[in-house]
Amino acid sequence: MANDNLAAVLYGIEDLRLEQRPIPAISDDEVLLKMDSVGICGSDVHYLVHGRIGHFVLTNPMIIGHEASGVVAKVGKKVQHLAVGDRVACEPGVPCRYCEHCKAGQYNLCPDMVFCATPPYDGNLTRYYKHAADFCYKLPDHVTMEEGALLEPLSVGVHACRRAGVGLGSKVLVLGAGPIGLVTLLAAQAMGAEQVLITDLVQQRLNVAKELGATHTLLMNKDDSAEEVAKQVHKLMGVEPDKSIDCCGAESTTRLSILATRSGGCVVIVGMGAAEPKIPLINALAREVDIRGVFRYCNDYPAALALVASGKVNVKRLITHHFDITETAKAFETARYGHGGAIKVMIHVQPKDTNN
Ligand code: NAD
Ligand code: ZN
């Protein structure tokens, strides 16, 4: 069908539908993308199950999806750096470019950010999607479309490691071995960490972390005392980590990340848990442990792409499942319940490997 624009539209809680949408018209600084690969993120599942994340509430039908790559189908008049046929990764958040934060180079903090599949803005699990051209990154021929889609979570890992100041010889503790913990592990290694210890409640996820090169893994139980686990971390690493990156956001992992970090080190919180968890703040204060937040990424896509293109990071191992866009419901079910050891579930809008 010439104007087939099948889209996965979230209407409300537990109500995800496939339907036709008009192919969008582009403005002079945009490109029209023929979408290829779209990964499912925990937040997509969260919108399906809860209809909201914090103060972002789904009130109108919204196309889901934001970890994506596509092929340029049309270019706006002012677009210089892309041409029809280019394969691109799509950075999903487009800021206003005018506010103080944008001007200061922290565009991820822009209050007027238009972010794919964050209400009220449509995402890109659809055949055709338009996007600001300067937030599309051309992929070298040897980088696959799936890798292009995975630049989104990888950018979170890169941003988290940059916020933590991971560098040559860093000893890093990563809490949680979900997709975000795993990309943080990969980024930390690529940025020169000497050791990365990663924790999780699920052994199978730790096995993947080990395969990806984690120097140590530690299986935890939900009710373990953070004080005790911190001791185990120190014993396994032989030192106290100077950076801890919480990619889980449970109260227990945030507590552990503070208690385990060496004095003068840095804790970075990526995982989103309770709004006001109970954490040992005075412990951090008295030992000058810095606590930093992470909100998505900012100027991190180019580094993420360089890591993948150079072969320093292999994100492919994260992908455990593949579905066609017509099987979106099944894809979400797999991601939601972790069926078959799901880590990253990839949805193919074009038949798999079409644009390799
Ligand atoms: P996920 O749920 O797949 O992974 C979390 C992992 O933590 C799971 O493997 C789980 O078994 C493990 N876990 C749970 N409780 C634990 C505990 N007490 N100790 C150790 N491990 C534990 O989620 P994900 O997609 O990897 O994302 C991780 C977190 O990062 C989520 O909270 C997500 O919302 C958040 N996130 C934040 C940003 C940001 O910009 N700050 C961006 C993306 C994701
Ligand atoms: Zn702005």
Give 225 Cα–ligand 1 centroid separation in angstroms.
19
126 secondary structure, DSSP code? B
Q: What is the CATH number of the domain that holds 248?
A: 3.40.50.720
Rounded to an integer, what distance in angstroms lies between the CA atom of residue 123 and that of residue 137?
A: 17
Give residue ranges with CB within 6 A of ligand 1.
42, 156, 175-181, 199-202, 205, 220, 222, 247-250, 252-253, 270-272, 294-296
Q: What is the pLDDT of residue 356?
A: 87
Q: What is the CATH number of the domain that holds 112?
A: 3.90.180.10
Q: What is the pLDDT of residue 160?
A: 98
Residues 72 and 171 in one domain: no
Structural domains counted in the chain = 2
Contacts of 13 (CB under 8 A, 6+ apart): 48, 49, 50, 51
Residues 182 and 249 in one domain: yes
- The answer to whether position 279 is within a domain reads yes
Residues 200 and 102 in one domain: no
Say what the ipTM of the complex is. Answer: 0.98
Convert the pLDDT of each residue in 282-310 to its tens digit: 999 999 999 999 999 999 999 999 999 99
Q: 75-99 in b/e burial notation, b at 16+ Cβ within 10 A?
A: bbeebeebeeebbbbbbbbbbeeeb
Give me the amino acid identity at 144.
T
- The answer to whether position 300 is within a domain reads no
Collect the ranges in the chain with pLDDT lower than 70.
1
Rounded to an integer, what distance in angstroms lies between the CA atom of residue 158 and that of residue 307?
A: 10
Residue range(s) defining the domain that contains residue 58: 6-138+315-348
Give 238 Cα–ligand 2 centroid separation in angstroms.
44
Residues 236 and 341 in one domain: no
Best residue among 66, 248, 251, 319 to mutate for probing ligand 1's pocket (most ligand atoms within 8 Å of CB) is 248
Q: What is the pLDDT of residue 98?
A: 98
- The answer to whether position 189 is within a domain reads yes
Residues 121 and 188 in one domain: no
Residues 168 and 284 in one domain: yes
- The answer to whether position 191 is within a domain reads yes
Residues 55 and 95 in one domain: yes
Q: What is the pLDDT of residue 3?
A: 87
